[in-house]
Chains A and B, each alone.
Chain A
Amino acid sequence: MNSAGPTCWLTWPRPPLAATPREPDAAKATAQRISFSGPQARALWQPRLEPLRHAALAIELEMVRRKRIPATVLWTSYDDIGALTERARSIGLDAKPIKASLGYAADWSLEASIDDPKRLLDYAFLIGAAPLDTSIAEPAADGFEQTAIRFGYPACCAKSWADHLRRGGSDPLAGLLTCGDKTPVHAHVALAVLGLGPVRHAPCSSSCPATRERSHEFIDLGRELGFAEEMNWLDEIADWAVDASLVNGIAEVTTAAYRCTWLSDEGMPPRHGAAATRPAKRERAAAAIAKPADSADILTEIGIGFEAAGFDNPFAMRSRFSTVVWEQTAALRRAASVVHVGCGEGLLLELVSQTKPRLKLYGIEQDAAAAEAARRRVGASRPILGGSSIEALAALSRLAPEGIDLAFVDPERLGDREALAAVCAIAKSVIVIGTDRSLYRHNDIDTLAATMGLALLPGRAGRVSAALSATSGRPH
């Protein structure tokens, strides 16, 4: 798919370049890989990139026209070759193709096809005054330094870049990161990788004064050509902090506004030079979490006594009681006191207390060992009453003479109607809960209640719990 993007791109750095770099058109590839740091950054900077590209191109061509440099190299697509050569001619310059590169499938125009491969390629053109000697763009190794100087490099940078190329390098960022200069990468490098901005060449170091001088010349020329606003943006960018790194042959540059990446030829050990380091781990309030207990403790914590309580396994009991609490959230919100009749080792009471810690909680459990386990689970301040249900309920009425707002009962476990009547006498609202045992037998809460002669409150019954009507359970 052909985008409506720019029609030609400057290289970074300007020649001389490695003979067969992995990404011949790296600036284009990198520009397509910009990932903005957020919508505000995108809204501000995306619209500025095209004017900056336009300015960089105009300044570059003007440098050629004024013979500050003998030539430059521009990449373009097949369809835009005509426009490029025409633009060069319009300012008295010549344009000659020097190489081509298979672009990315995503950039191929809809009309392009394998049968017409020329349209799948990007083309590099040397632009300069006629007659053009195309060999200057790709000189022999012994001509790198002189060629770099001709293309506008300061002498120090020309030397370092020539050395880098002779060592088999191709990526100017790699040169910067290995130069031993501890100064952070200059912000304009973050634009250079996109083929934009005043850093045209491969600097010998981040603190190279000659590079800064050339940058000022670029910006001055830009202002002279009428790109005042664009040059002001470049001044603004100059203060950015930039992280740059090259890991396993992938380069990445990160600024506050965007990050971008490209496939480099140069593999380096991780986190070399001024590589971006991950931010220090953020401190958080230490979570005062319980140290993991062993397996037996965990099972105890999940829930013991499940068989007596009518469940298949501890997970079923915990899940069911959790569901009961969830279904009765509204009732619990209104309640100030709760009793679980037949509380076993207190899991339901614990889950209720986690939902509403200030509730007055009571448990009734005939099995002394289970009652003791319940006390340990819910704490000594929550009475767990022993003895038969009738005796315990009598004791409960003495403890809570004003009555209890909510009682949870498993009617099957409670046994006789007398006990249920006693619960109903003390509790303003009674919630019937369905265990595995009762739900296997009766299928659902409605049937369970009907079988036991209990009436549920009108309206839809819960799935595993339901409120008894005010008359249910009263002695007939």
Chain B
Amino acid sequence: MTVEVRPLGDKCNIKCRYCYQEGIRTAGNVPTRYDLDAIVATLDKLAEPFSLFGGEIMLTRRPDLERLMRLGFDRHGGVGMQTNGTLIEERDIELFRKYHVRVGISIDGPGPLNDARWAGSLPATRRATARIEAAIETLCREGMPPNVIVTLNRMNAAPDRLNVLCAWIGFLGGLGVRKLRLHLLEQDETEAGEGLALTAQENLAALRRLRRLEQELPSVQFDIFAEMAAMLGGDDAQTSCVFHACDPYATRAVVGVESDGRLGNCGRTNKDGVTHLRAGREAFDRQLSLYRTPQADGGCQDCRFFLACKGNCPGTAIGGDWRMRSIDCPVWFGLFEDIETERLANGQTAISRSEHRSELEAKMIAAWSIGDNPTLHSLLQQAEAT
């Protein structure tokens, strides 16, 4: 479970044209103040490692930010932080070092490749991008290389730009960046974001190219490919939320601690401008429904990758309706196929082709039906033992 602390909710200093939180901001559902004591009390209760998140977390008053960092350091030996990087200043570097802050920075590329992360005007956008690039280089030079999150879109991964993106990632690797997370652009919310999305074919081509790049750059790892391979191997211990059975009413992988200390959900499924609070009980209605719904109706019936994918993130569901499978299905399917082929060629397990697949699916469905969510790994172990 990832606990995301969000003192200022979705408040942000820039307006990325594709941001999934823009609906909340447009609806005015952004807190103007926060209750740090309540937030800390909730974190005490959760007793889980946490990440500082937003909106933009660096908008938080520095003394308050430091208190949260200190709490994370004292309780858990460090704290994660996800930021757009534009507000990092010299004094923050010392805070990051002192409290073992693991910084993740979102940027789609250098200069013009990052133009979708809009800051109000083109000069302001470029200024913001330069500050992000500076923050990455500075953190690398300080021996604290950040993780970098890249969202693939037309500005950075269109066919005629993909090579530039790859070359830049190579540069980041030389600088010291070790981990990159790739996101597909969430196709919703804003008219301004229209036209930025790549087609499924372009996304798949981009991811395949980046996967080859990962093999060319041994020092750089893209989380997504290793996670997909792990899921096909039946190892879901370390994989990220998009491959787990996410309940948008009570997201398990991501729990938000909001400005007043209440628990919130992952914001990716908020499509109507409302930040709904967590439901009292987690359920797996989406997965149960997808499993029995024909693919032509937006389900996953008979997909051999269902156990590995589970319809992917509900925030990316077809038509913005969490009850449908991910609109990115063709992309994930293509990649799963690639990885499946390689695993089989290497003599490795691929649950999509395993003789145990039907049994595993039946057990998982039975567990979800009573609200339980066992790991794939545990079911696979049981199946192999019998």
Contacts and interface: CB of A to CB of B under 8 A. Distances in A.
Interface residues of B, number: 85
Given A292-B154, A464-B141, A105 B297 contact: no
A281 interface: yes
B39 interface: no
Interface residues of A, number: 74
Q: Which of B22, B273, B293 has the most CB of A within 10 A?
A: B293
Nearest to B259: A39
Interface string A7-33: 000000000000000000000010011
Interface stretch (B163-171, B223-231, B351-359): B163-171
Nearest to A347: B111
Given A38-B29, A248-B324, A287-B192, A319 B280 contact: no
Interface stretch (B131-139, B144-152, B212-220, B236-244): B131-139
Contacts of A105: 370-372
Contacts of A295: 160-161, 163-164
B282 interface: yes
Given A278-B271, A288-B122, A322 B189 contact: no
A323 B370 CA distance: 54
Query: Which DSSP category, helix, strand, loop or mixed, fits chain A's interface?
Result: mixed
B262 interface: yes
B305 interface: no
B112 A293 contact: yes
Contacts of A111: none
A345 to B, nearest CB: 13
Nearest to B132: A322
A248 B298 contact: yes
Q: Which of A35, A293, A312, A355 has the most CB of B within 10 A?
A: A35
A393 B25 CA distance: 51
Contacts of A357: 123
A106 B297 CA distance: 31
B324 A301 contact: no
A11 to B, nearest CB: 19
A370 B137 CA distance: 26
B136 A267 contact: no
A284 B191 contact: yes
Nearest to A282: B26
Contact of A288 (B89, B121, B135): B121
Interface in B273-297: 273-283, 285-286, 288-290, 292-293, 297
Interface of B: 15, 17, 22-23, 26, 29, 89-90, 110-113, 115-116, 118, 121-127, 130-131, 133-138, 141-142, 154-155, 158, 160-161, 163-164, 167-168, 171-172, 174-175, 189-192, 249-250, 260, 262, 265, 271-283, 285-286, 288-290, 292-293, 297-299, 319-321, 323-324, 370-372
Interface of A: 3, 29, 32-39, 42, 102-107, 247-250, 252, 254, 258-263, 267, 269-271, 278-279, 281-290, 292-295, 298-299, 301-303, 312-313, 315-316, 318-323, 325-327, 329, 351, 354-355, 357, 463-464
List the 10 closest A-B pairs by CB distance, nearest first: A326-B134, A104-B371, A315-B171, A322-B130, A32-B281, A354-B127, A323-B134, A322-B133, A35-B276, A247-B323
